[in-house]
Amino acid sequence: MTKRSLLQVILFSMLVSLVGAGLGEEPSQLIRVWPDFAPGETTKSPGEALPRRLNENPPATRITKITAPQLEVYAASKETASGAAVLICPGGAYNYVVRDKEGSEAAEWLNSHGVTAFVLRYRTKDGTEPIWKRPLQDAQRSLSLIRSRASEWSLDTKKIGIIGFSAGGQVAALTATNHAKRTYDPLDAIDKQPCRADFAMLIYPWRLANEQQLMEQLTVDKSTPPTFLVHAHNDNSSSLSSILFYVALKTHRVDAELHIYRTGGHGYGLRPVDGSHVSTWPARAADWLESSGWLDVSRTR
């Protein structure tokens, strides 16, 4: 390990310590997204954890075979809570949900800025097409669910955003651009609450474009929420995807910020990458959240 890599690991460990939680922090609540079976499901499986990969340090937890999605609640402290909230969509190629590296660790970072976080364990791939439809349904329902219980967590219903990593980034982008109509039949009073995200953060989103054209389901227009994007130039899930999304946002005069790092690859979450500055993206995101009015940093100093 190089000196720089060692320093990055130390800094990451310090960050985890400062936000008051170690890796593997458990949520304060675990909430079912749907009151009964999720749309199209015949089972209610919360999923099962895959064996951890021996080459990962710190390790990551991957949950597969989810048919009953859940929300992990990470409430900001009363001393720092800003009223803002973020729905977190981890990655996992739709085969599984990486609930810590791209979930609880992001929640801890958001908590450190006074933001209450909700990690979505959305449904995983079952062979049906399109593979993003069920996770999108889960995300839409989750945003409405969070708003319906906003008073419980002292949230401002006009400051509820979404962040997604990799496949979860695609889900977040679809959620941000498909808020006018749900992809499922409304069930109850919860679905009377808006499913629009007030802001979005897309971190190395997976395949927002094909052949240099955005997915047709990404209907970017002036109602699309302000968006922050991060990608690495050497990511095999091409940064052109994020660039094209940014161009669409710019075309429709939607507030946006795009960061392309020279190196970093894919799937790093908030963790350091040897030889790269990509782990600085949370600081840039915090700057964007503050300057956009979603954060009051004076409460977290």
Name the pLDDT band for 297 (thresholds 50, 70, 90).
Answer: low
Give the range among 55-59, 180-184, 235-239 with minimum mean pLDDT: 55-59
Tally of domains in the chain: 1
Average pLDDT over residues 54-67: 92
User: What element of type H or E holds 89?
Assistant: strand 85-89
pLDDT in tens, 113-145: 999 999 999 999 988 889 999 999 999 999 999
Question: Does residue 176 contact residue 223 with C-beta atoms inside 8 Å?
Answer: no
| Residue 265 pLDDT > 70 | yes
Angle at 189 between CA 227 and CA 145, to 5 degrees: 40
Taking 70 as the threshold, does the pLDDT of residue 190 lie above it?
Answer: yes
Structural domain that includes position 41: 3-299
- Give me the residue label for tokens 């008073």: 151
What global pTM score does this model have? 0.90
CATH of the domain at 72: 3.40.50.1820
Q: What is the largest CA-CA distance in the chain?
A: 56
Residues facing residue 214 across a β-bridge: 209
pLDDT single digits (tens) 14-44: 443 333 333 457 888 999 999 999 999 999 9
What is residue 284's predicted lDDT score, i.e. its pLDDT?
Answer: 97
pLDDT band at 299 (very low <50, low <70, confident <90, very high): low
Helices of type H across the chain:
3-18, 105-112, 133-148, 167-177, 240-251, 281-291
Give the chain's mean pLDDT.
91
Residue 1 has pLDDT above 50, yes or no: no
pLDDT of residue 95: 97
